[in-house]
Every structure is written in structure tokens, then in C-alpha cells.
Amino acid sequence: MMKISDGFLRGLERPIILWLLFNKPRHGYEIILEFKKLTGRKLKPSIVYPFLHRLEVEGFASGEWTFKGKRKIRHYYLTEKGEELLQKVREIFTKPVKEMFLDFIEKEQHKP
């Protein structure tokens, strides 16, 4: 059962990362922590960091180095192009897919 639910969440990892970056700039480890809070599942660094790098290379995100004590931390934020990408992803989740998710959630809540 866990493998099936993990597989489902794997399909949502990247849209969730985009959404998290849209809400505020974050570093990779912060994304991992927030994902865990939202889903109860640990997001692997091998998913987060290559995806952040790809977003940056393709112009969807930008990163800035900051210092926290003696440590350098890279905070990422969505660029305008990244916000447009998030909007396209949101459009995918509208209408039929959105209705399906709402139906799925509501029926689960009203289960006897």
C-alpha cells in the first residue's frame, strides 16, 4: 500500500516544489522539510537539488547565496518565467482534474 501512495506523491513532487518556491524563497533543505509537513513523506535530496538546478538553468528559478553563520546556503525563488510555468501547471489541475480531486477528497471525508 505504501509503495502505491509513494508513487502517487512522486507525480506531485515537482508541482509542490514550484508552489513552495512561489510562496517564498527557500533553500533545498527547507523544501524537504516543508514537503514532509505537507505530505508526511520525506522528499529525497536527489529529487530536490537536481530539480532546483534544472529550474535555474532553464530560467524558471534563480538562486542567491546567503550565509547562515559560517555556512553558505542557496535560496531559490521563482522568476517571472517560473511563475508562468506554475500557472500552466495550475491550469492542468483545473476543471476535470480539479473536479476529480475535489470529488475524491469529499467522498473520503464523508465515508461512513
**Contacting residues for 20 by C-beta, under 8 A, at least 6 apart:** 26, 31, 34, 35
pLDDT digits (tens, 9 = 90+) for 81-104: 999 999 998 888 776 666 766 776
Full residue range of the structural domain in which residue 97 is found: 2-109
Of the chain, the end-to-end C-alpha distance in Å amounts to 21
Count: domains in the chain: 1
Residue 65 to residue 71: CA distance in whole angstroms: 10
pTM to 2 decimal places: 0.78
Q: Which domain CATH number covers 103?
A: 1.10.10.10
3 state DSSP class of 12: coil
pLDDT tens track, the chain, 112 positions = 456 556 666 778 999 999 999 999 999 999 999 999 998 888 999 999 999 999 999 999 999 999 989 999 999 999 999 999 999 988 887 766 667 667 767 765 555 5
